[in-house]
A and B are shown apart, each in its own frame.
Chain A
Amino acid sequence: MENSSIGVYAIDRLALGMLGAVIIMVLCNRLAALVYVYAFQSLLLAAIAFFASSGLHAHHLIWMVYLIIIVKVLGIPYMLLRLIDTLTIKREVEPYVKWPISLLAASGLVILAYYIQRDILELHEGVVFNHCLSTSLAVILIGLFLMITRKKAITQMVGLLTMENGVFLGAIVLTSGMPMVIELGMSFDVLVGILIMGVFTFRIKETFASIDTSKLNSLRG
């Protein structure tokens, strides 16, 4: 029992760490830094899966840990860094909105997420729910915010991946992980999705001579 309560405590703190990481992402100025923070956040996710597998008695989650480390901590960040290396000249993030406003919006989203957990879902019971569900919601919402307010194709990809991390956090903590077949399928889908986005980023760069998505504006009405 001792072991399990330490696990739960660790999960709770690590989840807050993921929230911290996503707020740092909002403030990131350079593309490479954004990718590193994403990799760090994925590492925290892997750690959460690890503690959940021992603490919450969900042993199949140990495979999840390997999967997250291989795909999200190493594979995808490596690919994104390669993309940044080959495709961009100016390696800054280029947001549509200024930093202070971004930060303000991010804090607003965190409050919204906590509000949804406390007042709409009314889930109080259990230590696990102290922060985890609202953190996962907050990470999803801030990830979406990153996608909407940044111009480059790569930042949109990172935003999407961040949203997915939020969903995985929710899945691991709330349900001790989905059934194995489905976890595998989801990871595969995420990987293929990112590969296809990478290919399209290349094609956009070739055709538009930049990966600034604000130039994709000819289709209207």
Chain B
Amino acid sequence: MILMLKCLLAIPLVTGCLCLFIKKGRVAELLNLLGASLCFTISILVLTDITKGQPRCDFDGLIYVDALGGFFLFLTLLLSLAISIYSIGYMRQSLNKADLDRYLGRYYFYLNLFILTMILAVTTGNLGILWISIEATTLISTCLVGFYNERTSLEAAWKYLIICAVGITFALFGTTLFYYASLNIPFELRNTLNWYEITRFADRLDPGLTKVAFIFILIGYGTKAGFAPMHTWLPDAHSQAPTPVSALLSGVLLKCALYGILRFYIIAGKCLDAAYLNNLLLTFGIASLVIATFFILIQKDLKRLLAYSSLEHMGIIAAGIGFGGLLGVYGALFHVLNHALVKSLMFFVSGNLSIRYHTKNMENIKGAVETMPLTGTALLLGSFALAGVPPFNIFMSEIAILTAGFSSGNILASCIILVSLVIVFAGIVKHSTAMAFNSPPSGVGRGEVDGWTVLACSILLVPIVILGIYIPNFLDNIFNQSVCIITGEETAWMKEGFSSMK
């Protein structure tokens, strides 16, 4: 199993480098698709192995995958597969025909490295390596955000780089404080930043120090996760990156940062009052939600609308964890998956629309159902799913989180979420119906832009519809085990220690 994890790290690296050196765009596309499907298959194997009840661990915890990490790994690779399919169609259309080969090679190189850093972030059990890989995601994805090298994309890339670098520096300070706190425990710990070892003895950490350390972590990784008021890079980066990358940023990168917060939340939860941590998360969550709601209503740019909607959903997820309990955390994790699927679909649709209409301004996009029947349908279904309409998956997780909110006694917070959801619903449905219906502006061609992009959309629609009706057994299993890890219930392997995992 450890061998598979090593393969998982090696495949994107090899594919990425090959893509850079092979000067043929078509070959790079296929290589990337092959690598992504291989990685996805491996992630499923890893996941089925882990959910039998034991985490896997090697190199003193440098590689460590439990159900929580496995879930984020699965999410990353599922999305990277969908994005690989979509990239083939989209990048062909959006780049200059003349130097397609050169740009495609570079694009797939960055894309693979970006995915590699995210895989590393969720498969390591060392808090230092976690920090290094999350910092590396910023560095690589900056190159992707600034890929088109225009005025606006340069501006977005610079803001993204600087703001996230500052955030990540705070996270480093927080990590240092956690490390310092763990050094003060007289115990058999071997002075490493090993998450698993620190968690086992976390009840002996100094509470005052842990409080401050967690705030630094929350601000630091929270910047990357897009929590308000540190979210200002998010709409710029999401709107200026190539569309497949926007989907990756929104669907996976924000979640990887959240994963970082969760790891520290678990440690801090063992020595601090749970209410203190939950209130912090709840505050950031509600702030993000309220700010996003306002901007969604007044938005004109399609991709910025989707970016603010990501902010809104990150807020809901943070609130779900803040409400706590089985239902809240389960709902939050389920929402992580649901949001990633739906938001990627919406970014794919927005990419198709912007190629056909040559604009991202929603006022100039009209009659999508008429010009592009399949994309138009996906736009309608996707935006209803995004707004939380009943038969779709997001409705299920939102209901779970809201129920957790009301039953845990956070009436005010739950009411704010409820009101915001209604407003966002109105905003998104208004925008999307205006784009889908009416008569298309003159001079806009008919038909889908590319077969691959339609394929990617329809692949994503399947789980979106299915998850709204029922949750497959294996997912339910992963969620339950992850909830146990987050809420700190001791399982058998926690007590037995390292030796059982080798």
Contacts and interface: CB of A to CB of B under 8 A. Distances in A.
Given A200-B158, A213-B158, 4 more contacts: A153-B158, A171-B179, A203-B154, A219-B159
A120 B208 contact: yes
Interface in B114-167: 126, 128-129, 131-132, 135-136, 138-139, 142-143, 146, 149-152, 154-159, 161-162, 165-166
Contact of A182 (B126, B169, B183, B299): B126
Nearest to A188: B132
Contact of B132 (A123, A140, A167, A185): A185
Which 8 A/B pairs are nearest by Cβ-Cβ distance?
A: A182-B128, A185-B132, A216-B155, A174-B180, A219-B236, A171-B176, A189-B135, A163-B169
Contacts of B157: 200
Interface residues of A, number: 43
A22 B389 CA distance: 54
B406 interface: no
B295 A170 contact: no
Contacts of A216: 154-155, 158-159
B356 interface: no
A147 B151 CA distance: 22
Contacts of A204: 154, 158
A86 interface: no
Contact of B162 (A121, A147, A185): A147
Contact of B176 (A167, A193, A196, A219): A167
A92 interface: no
B139 A189 contact: yes
B162 A156 contact: yes
- Among B180, B183, B211, B239, residue most surrounded by chain A Cβ atoms (within 10 Å): B180
A218 interface: yes
Chain B contact surface mostly: helix
Contacts of A185: 128-129, 132
28 contacts: A120-B211, A120-B212, A140-B169, A153-B158, A160-B162, A166-B173, A170-B177, A171-B176, A179-B128, A179-B192, A182-B132, A185-B128, A186-B131, A189-B136, A192-B139, A193-B165, A196-B143, A197-B162, A200-B154, A200-B157, A200-B158, A203-B146, A204-B158, A208-B151, A208-B154, A216-B154, A216-B159, A219-B240
A94 interface: no
B169 A160 contact: yes
B130 to A, nearest CB: 10
A122 interface: yes
A170 B173 contact: yes
A221 interface: yes
B208 A207 contact: no
Interface of B: 62, 126, 128-129, 131-132, 135-136, 138-139, 142-143, 146, 149-152, 154-159, 161-162, 165-166, 169-170, 172-173, 176-177, 179-180, 183, 191-193, 208-209, 211-212, 235-236, 239-240, 295, 298-299, 304
Contacts of A16: none
A116 B158 contact: no
Interface in A144-197: 144, 147, 153, 156, 160, 163-164, 166-167, 170-171, 174-175, 178-179, 181-182, 185-186, 188-189, 192-193, 196-197
Contact of B209 (A121, A136, A221): A121
A188 B161 CA distance: 16
Given A207-B151, A219-B239, A221-B295, A178 B176 contact: yes
Contacts of B143: 196
A176 B136 CA distance: 25
Given A178-B176, A185-B128, A216-B158, A160 B165 contact: yes
Interface string A200-220: 100110011000010011110
Contacts of B193: 178-179, 182
Contacts of B172: 164, 167, 186
Contacts of B152: 218-219
A200 B132 contact: no
B144 to A, nearest CB: 12
A8 to B, nearest CB: 17
B173 A140 contact: yes
A192 to B, nearest CB: 6
Contacts of A193: 135, 138-139, 161, 165
A175 B183 contact: yes
B208 A197 contact: no
A136 B172 CA distance: 13
